[in-house]
Amino acid sequence: MKIYAVGGAIRDELLGLPVQDRDWVVVGATPETMLALGYKPVGRDFPVFLHPVTHEEYALARTERKTGPGYTGFAIHASPDVTLEQDLARRDLTINAIARDDAGRLIDPFGGIPDLQARQLRHVSAAFAEDPVRILRVARFAARFQHRFGFTVAPETLQLMQRMVDAGEVDALVAERVWTELSRGLCEPDPSVLFRVLEECHALPRLLPELVPYWTRHGAAAARSVDCAAARAAPLAVRFAAWIVPLVVPSGAGGHTLISTLGTRLRLPHAVQDLTSLACRLHAALHTRFAAGPEELLALLEAGDGLRRPQRLQDLLAVMACSENAQDTPPPASGDPLLRAQAAAATVDTAALARDASSPSAIAASIRAARLAAIGQAFSRGA
């Protein structure tokens, strides 16, 4: 039995990047050998085991053959006679198909090291086409490596991806899988590259048909906005909203129906859908906040639930800054008026007001009046 380190860890090591997860491939072993050595089996579909101490993944060398549409229709063949080269041959990209043995020697039968040097995302073999998720993976790796290292998708790989999409391959992907890859791609340093690659291989209209009418007109603004969110190291919800808002808001569509359709179909996490809807709905009011008075600022804080959820207010403002391309314009020296209003409103002692109110029904009105006064005072002082 021989054990090799494979996949993303070797790729990242050779690029000089920190390695997150290590994957191993085991050649010449059976599941029984692994169990006898104390490895714990995981999953039902693949012959994968966890190391008893490190908990890293050890997979028996395997070949895969497609037996049906989508990414689930695979016949897996794992047996002690499957070679390392056969296992590497079933992998997606040459840069992900490099192995290292226990003496530290690199094994690279498909030219992954030259492709790392040439900055090419190139498929290993025609078997790439057997797994449509790989289209999203390539787009995601481009979003990770393009600007930082200059990687591009090899022309023949892009053509293969186009043929796969044109043959309807991505239509079979389930929503969870699409969202998992899209969300990971959105969290890369240059998320606009994800969408550009998906557009270039014709996958974007298949994956996100709802957005077709918008990105031909506003795609460039959306690309700038989502990259701005990434440059701020913003969380996923902000990045998604920063991509959607410039697409949808200028058309006057409001976005609510569209986002709920998209949310249901892709099973978007609630926080992502919620922030995106809210940013679309409040966009016009947020846009005019610099000229707003205390009453409008308080109304905005209430609409965004900004007093109870200060982080969400920060997220909304980040979406605004990016979607309006305002990152080059420094905020006023006095700070964002909405944050000033929030800070002023937060000074109100709501417990004391509740105690002193003449009746329970008067509490809300008295708190609101006190917050309005506090905001008014803050602005008359600092104006």
Residues that bind ligand CTP (CB under 6 A): 7-8, 23, 91-92, 96-97, 131, 133-134, 137
Query: Amino acid identity of 32?
Result: E
Nearer to ligand CTP, 131 or 190 (CB): 131
* Nearest distance in Å: CB 269, ligand CTP: 19
Burial 112-148, CB ≥16 within 10 A → b, else e: bbebbeeebbbbbeebbbbbbbbbbbbbbbbbbbbee
* Nearest distance in Å: CB 184, ligand CTP: 7
* Nearest distance in Å: CB 59, ligand CTP: 9
* Nearest distance in Å: CB 204, ligand CTP: 19
Nearer to ligand CTP, 8 or 70 (CB): 8
How many other CB atoms sit within 10 Å of the CB of residue 162?
15
* Nearest distance in Å: CB 181, ligand CTP: 9
Write the CB contacts of 171 (distance below 8 Å, at least 6 apart in sequence): 206
Residues counted in the chain: 383
* Nearest distance in Å: CB 193, ligand CTP: 15
Alpha helix (H) residue ranges in 150-269: 155-166, 175-186, 191-200, 204-207, 212-231, 236-248, 256-266
Nearer to ligand CTP, 39 or 145 (CB): 145
Nearer to ligand CTP, 87 or 315 (CB): 87
Query: Amino acid identity of 85?
Result: E
Residue 93 DSSP class: B
Alpha helix (H) residue ranges in the chain: 8-14, 31-36, 84-89, 112-118, 133-149, 155-166, 175-186, 191-200, 204-207, 212-231, 236-248, 256-266, 270-287, 294-303, 310-323, 337-346, 350-356, 363-382
Write the CB contacts of 282 (distance below 8 Å, at least 6 apart in sequence): 300, 303, 304, 316
Cross-strand partners of 23 = 6, 57
How many other CB atoms sit within 10 Å of the CB of residue 102?
9
* Nearest distance in Å: CB 294, ligand CTP: 48
Nearer to ligand CTP, 167 or 299 (CB): 167
Q: Which residue is nearest to ligand CTP, using beta carbons? A: 8
Nearer to ligand CTP, 134 or 206 (CB): 134
Residue corresponding to tokens 């959105």: 186
Nearer to ligand CTP, 92 or 324 (CB): 92
* Nearest distance in Å: CB 136, ligand CTP: 9
Nearer to ligand CTP, 64 or 227 (CB): 64
